[in-house]
A and B are shown apart, each in its own frame.
Chain A
Amino acid sequence: MGKDVSRDELADLVRRGKEDDEAALERLSIYVYSHVYAFMYYRVAQPEDTDDLTSEVVLKVIKGLKQQRGNFNAWMYRIARNRLIDFYRRRAMRSEISLNDIPRKELTKSEDFSKQIMTREKLRQGMEQLTEDQRQVIILKFIEGYANNEVAEILGRSVGAVKVLQFRALRALREYFSGRGHAEKN
C-alpha cells in the first residue's frame, strides 16, 4: 500500500467514487496521478510524455471506475502498463524501428559502482536493461514502498516469484552499473 492512503481509506475512496462522490473522485484522481507518475517516470525519457501518459491513465481509471472489481492497485497498474505498451508500440510504428533498436544511453562506467552517485536519471537508464516484471518490482517495492505480498497481488505472481524478480533485477542493475556487460533476463 502506498504511504499516503491506507488500504481501508483507499477502499472507501473507491466505493464513494463509484457512487459519483465528487470529493472522493478528486482524492482518487490525485492518488492515481501520484502513483502512476512514479511508475511512468522510470519508463519514459521525456517528462512531457510522463505527464501525458499519467493524465490519460487517471482519466481511464475514472471513466472505468464503476466496472472495477478486485484489487484497485492491481487494476490501476494494469491500465498504466497497457497504456505504456501502447505508447511504445505507436512510437515504434511511427519511427519504423522496433523497440529493441532504440539506442540506449550509456553511463560512464566505473569499476566501483558503489562510488557513483545514484540519480533518478541513471536508474531510469539502468532499468532499460530489465525485463518488464523486474522493472515493476523495482518501482513498486523500492520506489513506491509496497510490501512483497502487495507487489505479488499487483503483478499476479507469488511472493516467492517477487523475491526472485527482486534478486535478478538488482543483480542486472549491478552488472550494468559496474560495466560487466549485459544484464540477465529471466
Chain B
Amino acid sequence: MQKKIEDILDQLIADVNEGKNVGDRLRDHGAYADELLPLLELYKQIGGLSKPEPDVHRVMATVRKAQALSKEKRTAKLFAIRDIFVFSPMLVRMTATVVLVLLAAMTTVMLSANSLPGDALYPVKRVAERVQYSMTFDAAGKARLHVIFADRRTKELACFVEPGRPLDSGLLIDMLNQTRLAIAHIELLNTEDAALLIAQVARCNRTQLALLEHAKQHAGEPDRERFEEAIRACREQSECIECMQNPNSSDKTHRPCGAPQTRAY
C-alpha cells in the first residue's frame, strides 16, 4: 500500500531534525520528490528562525501583575465569609433572628427547670422533657430519664402537699407512672447497667412512700382514699424493686412490673 505524502513529509522532517541525509529517502519516493524537496527546504528555513523572545521588562511587569492578582484572590478568599454578611444584610438579619430565637428558647428552658404545676413556664418544662426523651435512643438512657422524671414529680408533689390544699391527682398519677416506667425499662437492661439505676429508683420509691404516708395523715376524706391507693401502688413497686435487687431470692411471687398501665411519653 502506497504511503500518503503527508506521512512521508512528516518522516522526512523527523529525519532532518535528527540530522540525517534525506537525499536517498527522497529518491525512494520518486513520484513525490519534486513536491517534497521545496517543502523540506521551507521547513529548514522556518526551523532556522530563532524563537521570538519577549522583552524581559514586559515579562517581569506581567509577573508582578500576576502575583498581585494571586494575592488579591487569596485575600478575597479570606474575607469571603465576612463579605457574605457585608453584602447581604438580609442574611445578617436572618442569622441574628435565628441566634436570638435559639438563645430565647434556651433561656426559657433553663428558667422553666424549677417551675411547678400552675406556673406559666411549667408546660415548657414538660415539653422540654418530652423532647429530651424523644431524642434519647438507648434503653439505659430512657430508663435513666424515667428515674429523673419520677424524682422531679415527687419533689413537685411535695410542694403541694399542705394541710387544706386539694390534691393534684394528675401529678400523683404522673409520679407513679414515671416510677413504673423506670422499673419496666430497668428490667430490660443487663445487670451492670441496671445496678445503679435500681439503687436510684429504690431511693425515689422510699421518698415517695414517706411523702404519701405523711400526706395521708393531713389529707381530707376524699383525698385520703387516693393517697391509700397510691401507697398500695407504691408498695407494689417496692416489691418489684426488691426482687430486682435480689434476683436469687426464694420469693417466686414476683411478677414483671414492666407493662405500663397508664400513658407514657
Whether, in the assembled complex, A105 has its beta carbon less than 8 Å from a beta carbon of chain B, the answer is no
Q: Which residues of B contact A87 (CB under 8 A)?
A: none
Contact residues in A for B13 (Cβ distance below 8 Å): 166
Interface residues of B in 35-58 (CB under 8 A from A): 35, 38-39, 41-43, 45-55, 58
B7 on the A face (CB < 8 A) = yes
- CB <8 Å contact, A118 and B51: no
A164 to B8, CA, bound (A): 11
Are A51 and B55 interface neighbours, CB within 8 A? yes
Q: How far is the CA of A174 from the CA of B46 in the complex (A)?
A: 11
Residue numbers in A under 8 Å from B46 (CB-CB): 118, 123, 138, 142-143, 173
Question: Which residue from chain A places its CB closest to the CB of B59 in the assembled complex?
Answer: A33
As a 0/1 sequence over residues 142 to 186 of chain A, the CB contacts with chain B under 8 angstroms (1 = contact) are 111000100000000000000110110011011001100000000
Cβ-based interface call for A29 (8 A): yes
Q: Which residues of B contact A22 (CB under 8 A)?
A: 67, 70
Tell whether, in the assembled complex, residue B42 and residue A177 are in contact, meaning their CB atoms are under 8 Å apart: yes
Closest chain A CB from B33 CB (angstroms): 15
How many Å lie between the Cα of A20 and that of B74 in the bound state?
8
Known contacts A55-B58, A59-B62; A114 and B41 CB within 8 A of each other: yes
Chain B residues lying within 8 Å of A123, measured Cβ to Cβ, are: 46, 49
Task: Give the residues from 6 to 55 in chain A that come closer than 8 angstroms, CB to CB, to chain B.
Answer: 20, 22, 25-26, 29-30, 33-34, 37-38, 41-42, 51, 54-55
- Picked from B6, B47, B53, B58, the residue with its CB within 8 Å of the CB of A167 is B6
Interface residues of A in 37-91 (CB under 8 A from B): 37-38, 41-42, 51, 54-55, 58-59, 62-63
CA distance A111 to B134 in the complex (A): 97
Is B70 a contact of A25 with CB atoms below 8 Å?
Answer: yes
Given contacts A20-B70, A114-B38, contact A163 B55 (CB under 8 A): no
Closest to A48 in B: B58
Asked whether A51 and B58 contact (CB < 8 A) given A62-B69, A148-B10, the answer is yes
> A119 near B: Cβ within 8 Å?
yes
Minimal beta-carbon separation of A119 from chain B (angstroms): 7
Judge whether A104 is part of the interface by a CB distance below 8 angstroms: no
Report which B residues bind A (CB closer than 8 A).
5-7, 9-10, 13, 35, 38-39, 41-43, 45-55, 58-59, 61-63, 65-67, 69-70, 73-74
Can you list 8 pairs linking A and B with CB atoms under 8 Å apart?
A54-B62, A58-B62, A59-B65, A62-B70, A114-B38, A114-B45, A118-B42, A167-B9
Binding site for B on A (CB under 8 A): 20, 22, 25-26, 29-30, 33-34, 37-38, 41-42, 51, 54-55, 58-59, 62-63, 113-114, 118-120, 123, 138, 142-144, 148, 163-164, 166-167, 170-171, 173-174, 177-178
